[in-house]
Chains A and B, each alone.
Chain A
Amino acid sequence: MGKVIACYKWVPDEADIKINSDHTIDLSKAKWKISDYDKNAIEAAVQAAQVLEGKAVSLTFGGANAKSSLKDALSRGPDEACWINSDLASEADGFVTATVLAAAVRKMEDVSLVICAEGASDTYARQITPRLGAELDWPVITSVSNISINGNTIRAERQLDDCIQTVEAELPAVISVLPEVNDAPLPSLKAVIAASKKPVTELGDKDLGITDLTSKTRVQSQKAYVMIRKNIIFTEGDALDQVKELVGNLKKEGIL
């Protein structure tokens, strides 16, 4: 009957990244979103909470702008939201993030299951889930494509590069789900309206009683990968003319 926590990250949309002339990046115009695959994690948590007859709680560690994410997250089904509001989030490495999330999970009490996504859209480090599991010293199951819960036992299918494993563990546990685990539906009107009435807990990093929150890695620079391609789009004439142009060019390139 414990809680099921869904961890999600509030990230800038990578499609909105602008590149400055010195190849540094400008995120000031970017829209922010719940990291793509975290939507599947939230859906998985909502489903698991139903089976466990417990509450689903969304958990995010983010800066002030993550406030906008709460309604969005709650409209996807969780009963409650918890937001660790901290300026540290924007520069947090895996150590800081996992430490903060673990402290938040401990504080929530009576947690049966923590669900993260395989990887976040910005870092895609695929690091937080096992790290969080280690911080809590709970069993960890990563790369999960199918979940079934029976009593206090979770059985999961793991999709690895060379095999599909079925594994089992007793709860509480920490798992990471692949996007293939479910179809995360779009929220409905009633869900969106209901979201605004659900309880939100906002905590600062100071409320978690952690002494050391210094990142172990220091970011030195972020440079855009600049793609230089010919970008020739054939638009003259009809489809056949365009195909002929393409074939002509591929011949010239020595490809055909």
Chain B
Amino acid sequence: MSAEEKFDVIIIGAGPAGSACAYILARAGKNVLMVERGSSPGSKNVTGGRLYTYALEMVEPGLYKQAPLQRRVVREQIMMLGENSAVNIDYVNYDFGEDVPQSYTVLRAPFDEWFANEAEKQGAFVASGILVDGLIEENGKIVGIKAGEDEMYADVVVAADGVNSFIAQKAGLRPDIPAHTLGIGVKEIIELPDEIIAARFNLQGDQGAAKVAIGCSDGIAGGAFIYTNKGSISLGLVLNPEQVGQKGRSIQEILQDFKMHPAILPLLEGGKTVEYGAHLVPEQGYQGVPSRLYRDGLLVVGDAAGFVINTGTIIRGIDLAIISGAAAANAILNSIEGTHAGPLYMEELQKLALLPTMKMFAGWHSIISIPRMYKEYPELANDVMRFMFTVDGQVPEKMSKAMMNIAKRHVAVKQMLGDGWKLFKSV
């Protein structure tokens, strides 16, 4: 094979995981090829989300300042929706992000394109519009990739190809991923003038809000989110696809109902949907991480490795993707031409606190699997509020008795205690 056909590292997928990895390797002088199937990085990614900026700091201090970020999140809101009512928890902290801002809302298409570009500036080679459709294996080691007729070799191949990683499956590291371990996400970008966004979400300047909502999914496991961007808001749902199927409803219909909810509609009114996309999300947290994340010559990072934390109130995937990309890059740099990069990668994942963090949130999967989280509890919260704020001149029921009655109407006491225990155990 000629020098033309060999790289130090080939990275498959130019999402946040791939670009972080490419950036660090190229900066260290490695000959890196990053291959992306979309016509440009980001073009295949579903728009909108929030990014915890600490992750970019780990790649390069100060890098986040150049990133095409939207709004600095200072306002966190949790909404529990009832049929025609809502309980809103609004936490605002104007200190959020004084030094390195904690999180920013991002639009993925420009963000991914920017990040890949930064990697390119460091010297990585980015080939867009190319689908990797196979791996080259020699004596049990992954030594390269196939794309159509072409073959390309490398010391190490990094699979950063996202959820449902075809490459990890090809390499035998992931079995076929069962449907119930994945959430289906749909997102829309709705354009609205900045003044209106500021007024509706109570924001100033570059401040942003992140809102999550439960009780809006027709009892299906999952929730909704709304993030404020510049000149638009991202709105979407992440749901369990099996349950969507069982209900016989389309996710678009559920999204439509959510948008029409009396507590949501006023936030969107007058806006124009300019983008729509659907994508899968790993849902199982730590349990969903494959038992092996490497093979000789191959490392698996980001969504491909199942690195997503979904607590129902926050989804963290982009930051974990970046951290795992950085971990893979460090491991490769610490190895000699990629040999034993795998065990070094696992060490880096510990060092950068990724695996420990995933473990810490491990219990959440069982909580978000509690079906009552999506219907009974939000309804219960709404009934409690209704009781507390109803004044009609009658002698009210005794508080404790009323609460009990409300609770019983929605859930059996035993179940509630059980769910409470689960919650307590896992946090």
Contacts and interface: CB of A to CB of B under 8 A. Distances in A.
B125 A189 contact: no
B140 interface: no
Given A193-B33, A196-B125, A188 B40 contact: no
B40 A189 contact: no
A186 B125 contact: no
Interface residues of B, number: 18
B147 A188 contact: yes
A187 B125 contact: no
A107 interface: no
B267 interface: no
B150 A188 contact: yes
Interface string A174-199: 00000000000011111011101000
Given A188-B147, A188-B150, A193 B127 contact: yes
Contacts of A192: 127-130
A31 B40 contact: yes
A187 B40 contact: no
A194 B5 CA distance: 10
A243 B39 CA distance: 38
Most buried by B among A18, A31, A190: A190
A2 B129 CA distance: 31
A112 B98 CA distance: 63
Contacts of A196: 125
Contacts, number: 33
A191 to B, nearest CB: 8
Interface string B15-33: 0000000000000000001
B255 to A, nearest CB: 15
B125 A188 contact: no
B35 interface: yes
B205 interface: no
Name the interface size band of chain A.
Answer: 10 to 19
Contacts of A31: 39-40, 43
A188 B33 contact: no
Given A31-B40, A193-B33, A187 B150 contact: no
B148 interface: yes
Interface in A9-28: 18
Contacts of B5: 190
A53 to B, nearest CB: 23
A189 B147 CA distance: 7
Contacts of A18: 274
Interface string B357-392: 000000000000000000000000000000000000
A190 B127 CA distance: 9
Contacts of B397: none
A194 B127 CA distance: 10
A193 B145 CA distance: 14
Contacts of A194: 4
B129 A187 contact: yes
B35 to A, nearest CB: 7
A16 B129 CA distance: 19
A163 B39 CA distance: 38
A175 to B, nearest CB: 28
A186 B129 contact: yes
B294 to A, nearest CB: 24
Nearest to B33: A193
B95 interface: no
Interface of B: 4-5, 33, 35, 39-40, 43, 125, 127-130, 147-150, 152, 274
8 contacts: A18-B274, A31-B39, A186-B129, A188-B149, A188-B150, A189-B152, A192-B130, A193-B152
Interchain residue pairs A-B with the least CB separation, the first 4: A189-B147, A192-B127, A189-B150, A190-B150
Given A31-B40, A192-B128, A193-B127, 4 more contacts: A189-B130, A190-B5, A193-B4, A193-B33
